[in-house]
Amino acid sequence: PRPRQWRRKAGTEEAEEPRSIHDVPDDLLRQILLRLDSPLWLLRAACAYRQFRRAVASADSGRSFLRLASSLHPPVVVGHYHNCRVRPIAFVPSLSPPAPPIDGGRFALDFLPRSITTTTDWEVADCHGGLVVLCNSQNSPSNLIVCDPLTRRYQGIPHPLEKLAGFVVALLDGDGDGNISISNFRVLYHCFHGDGAPRQVCVFSAADGGDGWRFLRRPSAGSYYIGHVAGRVDGSIYLGSVTGNVRVLDNASMELSEVYLPIGIDKSKAPRISTFTVVHGAGANPTSPPSTWIIHVHGEELEFYRRVRGGSGSGGEWVLEHNIPKLSEVARGLLAGCPEERLEVYVIAVGTGTAVLSAGDRDERKLLFSIDMDTKKLAPKESLSPDEGDSHQFTYTLPWPQLLQACPS
Supply the CATH number for residue 167's domain.
Answer: 2.120.10
Instruction: Give phi and psi for 32, each to the nearest 5.
Output: -70, -45
- The model's pLDDT over 353-400, given as tens digits with 9 standing for 90+, comes to 999 988 876 556 678 888 999 999 988 887 655 555 556 789 998 887
Domain co-membership, 231 together with 366: yes
Q: What local confidence, expressed as pLDDT, does residue 145 receive?
A: 92
* E strand or H helix at 185: strand 185-192
Quote the pTM value: 0.83
SS3 53: helix
Domain shared by 33 and 113, yes or no: no
C-alpha distances in Å from residue 130, one per residue of 198, 331, 399:
34, 35, 5
Residue that is last in its domain, among 10, 42, 68: 68
Q: Please give the DSSP secondary-structure letter assigned to residue 108.
A: -
Residues 268 and 181 reside in one and the same domain: yes
Tens-digit pLDDT profile for residues 137-195: 776 666 789 999 989 999 988 777 666 677 777 898 887 666 788 888 999 888 776 55
- 64 and 204 assigned to the same domain: no
Distances from the Cα of 35 to the Cαs of 76, 285, 288, 351, 360, in angstroms? 14, 9, 10, 20, 41
Task: Assign 3-state DSSP to the chain and report helix, strand, coil percentages, each to 5.
Answer: 15, 35, 50
pLDDT at 200: 76
Nearest-angstrom CA–CA distance, 94 and 100: 9
Q: Quick one: 244 and 106 in the same domain?
A: yes
Q: Is residue 407 part of a domain?
A: no
> What's the structural domain count of the chain?
2
Instruction: Determine, yes or no, domain membership for 406.
Output: no
d(CA 255, CA 219): 7
The reply to whether 355 falls in a domain is yes
* Same domain as 171, residue 42: no
Q: Specify if 46 maps to a domain.
A: yes
- Separation CA 373–CA 357 (nearest Å): 12
171 with 34, same domain?
A: no
Report how far residue 101's alpha carbon sits from residue 239's, in angstroms, rounded to the nearest whole number: 32
78 lies in a domain?
A: yes
Q: Report if residue 17 sits inside a domain.
A: no
Residue 151 lies in a domain: yes
Amino acid identity, position 99: A
Looking at this protein, which amino acid is placed at residue 37? D
300 with 344, same domain: the answer is: yes
Q: Do 150 and 64 belong to one domain?
A: no
Which residue range forms the structural domain that includes residue 188? 72-398
User: Do residues 152 and 34 share a domain?
Assistant: no
Same domain, 156 and 45: no
Indicate whether 409 belongs to any domain: no
Helix (H, G, I), strand (E, B) or coil at 131: strand
Q: Which of 8, 39, 68 is the last residue of a domain?
A: 68
Q: What is the pLDDT of residue 322?
A: 94
- Is residue 356 a contact partner of residue 370, using CB atoms and an 8 Å limit? yes
Residues 36 and 184 in one domain: no
Q: Could you tell me the mean pLDDT of each successive run of 10 residues in the chain, 409 residues long?
A: 50 60 82 82 84 77 77 84 80 72 82 83 90 82 85 86 72 78 87 63 77 71 69 88 83 84 83 88 79 92 88 68 88 62 81 87 72 90 60 82 60
- How many residues comprise the chain? 409
